[in-house]
Structure 1
Amino acid sequence: MIYPAPLEQGSVIAVTAFSSGINDAAKGRYQHVVTDLKEKGYVIIEGKCLMGNRKHVSASAEQRADELMSFLLDDTLDAIAAPWGGELTMEILPLLDFDRLKEAKPKWLFGFSDISTLMVVMSSKLNWATAHSPNLMNLVANETETLTANFLTNITTNTGTSFTQYASQEYTDKWPDSVTNTAAVLEPYLKTQWHWLVAPLSESSIEGRLIGGCWDTLIHLFDTPYLDLKNYAKQHEEGVILYLENVEMTPADLTRSILSMKFKGVFTHLKAILLGRSAYPDSDDKDDLNYYEVIKRHLSDLGIPVLIDMDIGHVPPNLTLINGALAKVGYEEGDWRITQSLI
């Protein structure tokens, strides 16, 4: 893996929307976040494909791809961030010149949701480490939730060293009202409980190279040139840990997605699976299929460990997960934890 330089005071972060731009209601929050980052010593460069959101996007696919390419090829930059995810990052993938990018200085890309659609491709095709993490719009200076507040510390980790995170104590299914209060923070109130759907046979933890993101979008990339897990696994003899989180797939959608992955042989390339909490609400009708029934029925027979209800994705908070890092995940000394080595 190729790790970008750690971010620090003076690092230059370019902001552009890979998919959804910033609408009028979100401009106050965005300015609040940018002000906080500048006060911390970061240099912020804003792209033209950022403000405005029409038909799910900030600009045409061609405009978004051109701006992203210009940033990716600009070696004065240290990171590229989208404000948040969206729906249509996939549109820009065929418009990127990956041969040219092989010669560029690696830069951090970070965030979650549709941002992961781009990040897994950069990690899979270019071996750039990328960071599945809180989104830019979550990075207010007064955030009190530990995993979110520590992102900027985690991303300062030096290549060759490691950092450890612990399961949150509580999570929330409600995003803060950042329109009314631009400095609004997360307010967790539900008990977090990571647990094994399928436990390791002998150890209390698992180890392997991380890659993953939003299940709703990655399902369309598996077994394509953009996310070739077979080749990724060949490059990493330690084994691959795939992490995923469901946003909008119904239990039936999720069933079809898992079966599609089985039909394509995706799971044969994996050492373990990590799942975030599902954001799709289960029906109150007990005769309806639900999320836990689906994952138990279709992921319990893979012959690999599966850890579920982790701090990943659209039911915050979010861990910082480095695509490409060598991770050790499990229950040790009375705590659920994940240690990532940037080696």
Structure 2
Amino acid sequence: MITYPFLKHNATIGVVAPSSGVPTDLHHLLHTAQHNMEKKGFQVQIGETAWTQNLAKSAPAEKRVQELEGMLTDPGIDLIIPPWGGELLIDILERIDFEKIEPKWILGYSDTSLLLLAITLKTGTATAHGTNLIDMRGESWDETTAKWINVLSTAQGEWIEQVSSTHYQKEWQFENPTPHIFHLDEPTIWKTTEKDLVKIEGRLLGGCIDVLHHLVGTPYGDVKKFRETHAQNEPLLWYFENCELITTSLRRSLMQMKLAGWFEGCAGILFGRSDANAPVQNYTIEVLYKELADELQIPIIYDIDCGHVPPQMTLINGAYAEVEYNNGKGKIRQHFR
């Protein structure tokens, strides 16, 4: 069984940095995010690690774990949102006491997704892959981003549906700020390796593939045990977003997962938009996706709203999802069962 936390009205958000914190010259971003979240009715408690950054991490591993576990076990904290991702969250996994973790939502992406997937695989508690705190500092949110509240407020036994965005942000324009941070100026078009309408369903698992493949073969990446213990051996529906991997690196990471058995019982794979995916000697991302689809005999839907090219849906690790693609558009219905 999967345990689903529930986001109550006027919740208290705990801000902790299990990966990277915010350097001094960018503290104004964190202040603005806190201010805007409080305007929307949330209470915000910011931990010490959110304000510091050195040696490619917010603080030594011991301090990051202490603050993270403190917020996870604090009954006054309803939801945890890191300021953003980073590079070295993997340092802390072996120090976390997963048996101490109280069911509460953790929301984030990029390096944070390493923590999210590890928690869901080891405990059966659902976690939320979606926007980070810094990207919610705008005066308003676009419809796709704003849906995170509705998703995390879905009760166990209920379902919620999200649809593909109308536009996405092709590139950052920091010199030209908008009320909702993002510059959503490019039409969103989902794509697939198939020729027609695609419908797939299964238990959602995924995150940033740059870091997730490092869980293969570790106690934090036991997908087989998760399926047996928490998912009744139901089919899996993987989703991945690529931050920095060129096509050959992405291929190696996917093959590592395949050889480790992560794709056994896989009904399909969703890939987010990416401005990485650089081709190598004509080995393009489209060729990679078709190869993988043929090898696994599954449909692949790509350029979905997920990852470092905003906006992004809120995808729940552990939820049972029904995904439909049709003519460049898509929708995802997540069942909290």
Aligned to 2:253, what secondary structure does the other structure show? helix
Report SS of the residue matched to 2:48.
Answer: coil
- Structure 1 residues 35-46: aligned runs within 5 Å: 35-46=35-46
1:122 match: 119
State whether structure 2 residue 216 is matched by structure 1 residue 222. Answer: yes
Tell me if structure 2 keeps the 8 A contact 1:32–1:183: no
1:168-202 alpha-carbon deviations (Å, 9 max, x no partner)? 1111132352x8859552111222211222479xx
Flag structure 1 segments of 5+ consecutive residues without an equivalent: none
Give the match's secondary structure for 2:263: helix
Task: Give the 3 Å change call, closer, same or farther, for CA 305–333 of structure 1 in structure 2.
Answer: closer
Q: Please name the residue that 1:329 is paired with.
A: 323
Which deviates further from its counterpart, 305-314 or 327-336? 327-336
Per the alignment, in what secondary structure is the counterpart of residue 84 of structure 1?
coil
> How many angstroms does 1:302 deviate by?
0.4
One-letter amino acid matched to 2:99: D
Whether the aligned pair in 2 keeps the contact of 1:13 and 1:43 (CA below 8 Å) is yes
Match of 1:149 among 125, 146, 152: 146
Q: TM-score, normalised by structure 1?
A: 0.90
DSSP 3-state at the match of 2:113: helix
Alignment of 1:128-277 (within 5 A): 128-177=125-174, 185-198=181-194, 204-234=198-228, 235-237=230-232, 238-277=234-273
In the TM superposition, what are the counterparts of 1:4-43 in structure 2 within 5 Å?
4-9=5-10, 11-43=11-43
Structure 1 window deviating more from structure 2 (157-166 vs 325-334): it is: 325-334
What is the count of residue pairs matched by the alignment? Answer: 334
Asked whether the 8 Å contact 1:199–1:306 carries over to 2, the reply is: no
How many percent identity over aligned positions? 34
TM-score (norm 2): 0.92
Alpha-carbon deviations, 1:111-132, whole Å to 9, x = none? 1101101011111111111111
Select 1:317's aligned residue among 311, 321, 329. Answer: 311
Q: Could you tell me how far apart the structure 1 residues matched to 2:224 and 2:64 are? A: 30
Q: Which residue does 1:308 correspond to in 2?
A: 302
Q: Counterpart of 1:312 in structure 2: which amino acid?
A: C
Preserved CA contact (<8 Å) 1:113 1:214:
yes
Alignment-mate amino acid for residue 254 of structure 1: L
Report if the CA contact (8 A) 2:273-2:309 is conserved.
Answer: yes
The 1:143–1:72 alpha-carbon spacing in structure 2 relative to 1, beyond 3 Å, is: same
Deviates more, 1:333-342 or 1:265-274: 333-342
- Asked if the contact 2:190–2:329 (Cα under 8 Å) also holds between the matched residues in 1, the reply is no
Residue type at the aligned position of 1:236: A
Q: 1:142 to 1:319 in 2, by over 3 A?
A: same
Aligned to 1:84: 84
- Measure the CA separation in 2 of the matches of 1:19 and 1:110: 14
